[in-house]
Amino acid sequence: MAATELVGKRQAYYKGRITAFVILSCTVAATGGILFGYDLGISGSALALALGDRSSYVSRLECEVFAGGVTSMEPFLKKFFPDVYAEMHDKNSHATSNYCKFDSQLLSTFTSSLYVAGLVASLCASWVTQAFGRRTSMLLGGAFFMAGAVLGALAINVYMLILGRVLLGIGVGFTNQSVPLYLSEMAPPEHRGAINNGFFFFVGLGTLSANLINYGTQKIHSGWGWRISIGLAVLPATVLALGTLFLPETPTSLIQHTDSVHKATATLQKIRGTDDVQAELDHLIAAGGISKAAQHPLRTIMRRKYRPQLVMAILIPFFKHMTGIAAITFYSPLIFRSMGLEESSSLLSAVITGVIDVVFILIAMTVVDRVGRRTLFIVGGVQMLATHVMVGGILATQLGDHGGVGKGYANTVVVLVCVYVAGFGLSWGPLAWLVPTEIFPLEIRSIGQSIVVAVVLLLASVVGQTLLPMLCHLRAAVFFFFGGWTLIMTVFVILFVPETKNLPMEKMDQIWTEHWFWKKVVGEDEEEEEEERKDTVLSDMMI
């Protein structure tokens, strides 16, 4: 059955509409994205230190307000990382190359501790989400994040600080694993893309909010600014935790872990706005039966039958990080400052790119269910590839180890950075969360999403640890490096990623059996299953 036929069939017998109840429920759930985004913005990176007070055209204020200031606020460093604070004020090291500002392994490790904790937590969340439901994991995520924010804000030594960071990571692991699943399962198929993209919209909103908060708190002279920045993370965590108490469980989850067809039917009728939900309910019950038969999800997802989903679960989040978003975001303050802007240039950089990101995520939400996932992937990929090549070319020819870039070139690069961020917000930013959540059948959905989150957090940690050395050794060529990866991932989408728009999640297996490449993979597994069934029948007859 062709994909277009599936769409038509879905519209023919799946009744209902998008309801205000679904919008409200999914909005509350999607605030879980703020937790991840706020932490990305508030915790910062060692690169912020690298940019501060080390260049003739990058000011210390820029270090303090850029993309997550607590790891570069002087009171924070003086209290928890005195060696880094002393090195930052070493007057004998200001001749360092623009590409080789000092790195702090200890600070990088502090930042990465969240990702390591989140990675482990996301794998644990797989079992919790499948056994107890999506709401339970969301509630736990909000509670852990709340505890981490309080502990971090009250920290009196580095051990409390790191423990708080670990709790934040556990919260992120649980919410990133459960929230996208909740959104995809609650949404009608024809609106699933828009609703699921709400998660990444709140990630971007959280990061932007953190940048603005850091700008205000770094001006507090009492030295408590970093405590306020970390402590305010309690607010979105509280909204999620309390809001989750009033959210309905998804019909899919009710069937999977409670066997309550009555509750699932009532919930489905409420979220679809109609009593005629039997066709969709039948598919959910069938999927639930298959899910219960799969006793070992991790072993199940390794089967050849699920090879396409496993490949997507690993490669899509991997490719997202290899778009080079970290290089563009982290390096943009230096580029903006080279224009000759005043001390607020770092804030301008963070806010402008943050606003553009949020705006284009909103655009993606409005068009993703009409133009499709593949189109946005390809358009965004081409857009990012072009900007990588042009930015790399300008920096390679105009920016040396010392000094700045001419204002005309700087203006051009600023525009290119904005074009790049727009392309990312339109494509790989939100779609890297959307597509994996909608392709997993129920029996591997929870473990599949855990793998996605684990790869996201692992790559975030690796990129955070390696970006500075890459900038130092590759210099402007780092943009050609990421440009090459962007080309590879765009070709990958063209060849191997089928379109998923408007298809019910329970019917998504059809896209693999009709794909020119994946049908060869899953087809062989079906043949093996048939042989196993024949062997079983023969064995029974002999007995």
pLDDT tens, residue by residue, 301-346: 999 999 999 999 999 999 999 998 877 776 666 556 554 555 455 5
- Whether the predicted pLDDT of 249 surpasses 90: yes
Residue 206 lies in a domain: yes
What is the per-residue pLDDT for 343? Answer: 46
Strand ranges (E), 415-538: none
| Tens digit of each residue's pLDDT (9 = 90 or more) over 467-513 | 777 777 777 888 899 999 999 999 999 999 999 998 998 889 899 99
pLDDT, one tens digit per residue, over 130-174 is: 989 999 999 999 999 999 999 999 999 888 998 999 999 999 999
Residue range(s) defining the domain that contains residue 489: 3-85+93-512
Mean pLDDT lowest among 150-154, 213-217, 291-295, 496-500: 291-295
The tokens describing 523, both together, are: 């087809």
294: pLDDT strictly greater than 80: no
In a domain, 369, yes or no: yes
Within 294-324, residue ranges assigned H as helices are: 297-301, 307-321
Is residue 305 domain-resident?
Answer: yes
User: How many Å apart are CA 102 and CA 312, to the nearest integer?
Assistant: 36
On whether residue 528 sits in a domain, the answer given is no
pLDDT greater than 50 at residue 533: no
Q: Which two tokens stand for residue 91?
A: 């007057």
* The predicted structure's pLDDT at residue 69: 57
- Rounded-to-10 torsion of CA 401, 407, 410, 416: -160
The residue among 105 and 63 whose pLDDT is bigger is: 105
Number of compact structural domains in the chain: 1
pLDDT tens per residue, range 337-376: 554 555 455 556 767 888 999 999 999 999 999 999 999 9
In a domain, residue 539? The reply is no
Q: Evaluate whether residue 527 is within a structural domain.
A: no
Residue 525 covered by a domain: no
Which pTM value belongs to this model? 0.85
CATH number at residue 114: 1.20.1250.20
Q: In the prediction, which pLDDT does 528 show?
A: 56
Residue 518 belongs to some domain of the structure: no
Place of tokens 């360092």: 96
Please, which residues have CB within 8 angstroms of residue 157's CB and are 6 or more apart in sequence?
Answer: 80
Query: How confident is the prediction for the chain on average, in pLDDT?
Result: 82
